[in-house]
């Protein structure tokens, strides 16, 4: 680190600022930008914002100041090597000293962490996904590389759309493709927000579209319910975008029955965020009987303690892995490994405030997660490059994407 210069600056994603970190070595510039979430869970690490009038309070000058004036000088003074990812991340976490990185901001810590990881790969002379695999000691470190199934968002509802749909994302998974290149032919994260009223109508549109495209035996459906957005006093309001009326609230059991009807009537194989992040009993009950992949996002927030609790309670069987939910590369790898060690699937994911940086494309390969949600074509193109580079050594998760290997 003594031979490097690090500087952070404000970077725009979806019109809102986020943190970008430039790490300069003697010969190379390494740049990393932090994903900035729109629909965030209450237990996520804190994205530090300025709360001033500029950008409606979403500026990140405080986080940038922490990077430039505190974090980087401390790292340089410790004379750490840029390949020592765990030591770098651990020092930043200790310096912050809070449970949710609220002192520096997870966006400050993660920006440095990502840039260091990219530089560490070049220092070792290996591709980034290999460096990540080596840090986590995954099977990819031994050339057993997995290309993931893309989970492609097609229809938006919830807080991401102005239509009446309560549920946030209606997605397709091309599990029947022969390889990643064939899989991405089915979509590219181009999302529609049609003026439809019922969640079943969204599923029906996907089912019809899959059939007309000739992919009935190759493409299945996933959903992100994001039920926390319409949870009201322990019940759920499927018409939450209208004026409030407690008479229409339904119980967790009624919501579970609705989820089960989706599974019975449509090729739904994955449901994310089926209940509120505090409704542990409903999660546990549904996971026991669902017979499909139940994905923890706001429930688990890529946090080791919450993943351990969810494992103990059998509240879900798949982790949604988001690096910005926890705020460092090392903790992200640890969370992924804990989920995998307990037999869970892992779906690596972007966040709604996306960037064109391709780190998470390399992360999903290095960690052999089997499934990925990504919001920019730059990331799909990076995975296509990796698949081409690997040639016959590239294995596609396909129908084993929930438990790859």
DSSP 353: B
Q: Identify the burial level of 97 via C-beta atoms within 10 angstroms of its C-beta, where 0-12 means exposed, 13-18 middle and 19 or more buried.
A: exposed
- The answer to whether 261 is annotated as binding is no
Q: For strand 16-24 and strand 29-33, is the pairing parallel, antiparallel, or unpaired?
A: antiparallel
- φ, ψ of residue 269 to 5 degrees: the values are -115, -5
Pairing of strands 16-24, 5-13: antiparallel
Tell whether 139 is in a known binding site: no
Distance of CA 288 to the CA centre of its chain: 24
How far is it, in rounded angstroms, from Cα 189 to Cα 62? 32
Active-site choice (47, 49, 189, 331): 189
373 is in an annotated binding site: yes
Q: Is 169 annotated as a binding residue?
A: yes
Please state, in angstroms and rounded to a whole number, the distance separating the CA atoms of residues 155 and 200: 12
Q: Which two tokens stand for residue 172?
A: 């397709």
Element (H, E) at 171: strand 169-173
Give, as one character, the DSSP assignment of residue 45: P
224 assigned to a ligand binding site? yes
Is position 357 annotated in a ligand binding site?
Answer: no
From 101, 118, 218, 322, the catalytic residue:
322
Distance of CA 43 to CAs 33, 35, 99, 318, 397, Å?
22, 17, 10, 18, 31
Element (H, E) at 209: helix 199-212
Cα distance between residue 403 and residue 368, in whole Å: 10
351 annotated binding-site participant: yes
For 74-99, the DSSP string reads HHHHTT--TT-HHHHHHHHHHHH-SS
What's the residue count for the chain? 405
Residue 66 marked in a binding site: no
Q: Is 198 a catalytic residue?
A: no
DSSP state of 68: I
| DSSP SS3 for 53 | coil
User: Would you call 189 a catalytic residue per the annotation?
Assistant: yes
Radius of gyration in angstroms for the set of CA atoms belonging to the chain, rounded to a whole number: 21
Q: Does the annotation place 150 within a ligand binding site?
A: no
134 is in an annotated binding site: no
Interatomic CA distance for residues 68 and 214, integer angstroms: 53
Residue 134 structure tokens: 């080596």
Annotated binding site: 160, 169, 224, 272, 297, 349-352, 373
Annotated binding site for Mg(2+): 224, 272, 297
Catalytic residues: 189, 322
Annotated binding site for substrate: 160, 169, 272, 297, 349-352, 373
């Amino acid at each position: 680190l003594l031979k490097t210069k690090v500087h952070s600056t404000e970077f725009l994603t979806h019109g809102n600022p986020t943190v970008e970190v430039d790490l300069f070595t003697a010969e190379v510039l390494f740049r990393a930008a932090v994903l900035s979430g729109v629909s965030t869970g209450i237990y996520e690490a804190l994205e530090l914002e300025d709360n001033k009038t500029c950008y409606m309070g979403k500026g990140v000058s405080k986080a940038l100041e922490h990077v430039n004036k505190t974090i980087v000088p401390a790292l340089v003074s410790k004379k750490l090597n840029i390949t020592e990812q765990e030591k770098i991340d651990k020092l930043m976490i200790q310096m912050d000293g809070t449970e949710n990185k609220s002192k520096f901001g997870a966006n400050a810590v993660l920006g440095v962490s990502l840039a260091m990881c990219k530089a560490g790969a070049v220092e070792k002379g290996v591709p980034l996904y290999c460096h990540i695999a080596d840090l986590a000691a995954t099977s990819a470190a031994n050339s057993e590389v997995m290309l993931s199934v893309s989970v492609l968002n097609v229809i938006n509802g919830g807080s991401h759309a102005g239509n009446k749909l309560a549920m946030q994302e209606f997605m397709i998974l091309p599990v029947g493709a022969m390889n990643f290149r064939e899989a991405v032919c089915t979509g590219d994260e181009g999302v529609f927000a049609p003026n439809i009223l019922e969640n079943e109508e969204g599923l029906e549109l996907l089912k019809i579209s899959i059939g007309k495209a000739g992919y009935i035996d190759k493409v299945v459906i996933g959903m992100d319910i994001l039920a926390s957005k319409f949870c009201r006093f322990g019940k759920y309001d499927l018409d939450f975008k209208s004026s409030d009326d407690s008479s229409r609230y339904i119980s967790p059991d009624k919501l579970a029955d609705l989820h089960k009807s989706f599974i019975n009537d449509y090729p739904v194989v994955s449901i994310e965020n089926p209940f509120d992040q505090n409704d542990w009993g409903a999660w546990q009950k549904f996971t026991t009987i669902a017979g499909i992949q139940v994905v923890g996002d706001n429930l688990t927030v890529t946090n080791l303690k919450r993943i351990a609790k969810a494992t103990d309670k059998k509240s879900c069987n798949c982790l949604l892995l988001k690096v910005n939910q926890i705020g460092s590369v090392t903790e992200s790898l640890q969370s992924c490994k804990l989920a995998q060690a307990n037999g869970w699937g892992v779906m690596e994911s972007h966040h709604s405030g996306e960037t064109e940086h391709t780190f998470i494309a390399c992360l999903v390969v290095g960690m052999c997660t089997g499934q990925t949600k990504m919001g920019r074509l730059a990331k799909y193109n990076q995975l296509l490059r990796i698949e081409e580079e690997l040639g016959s050594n590239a294995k596609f998760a396909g129908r084993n994407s929930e438990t790859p290997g």
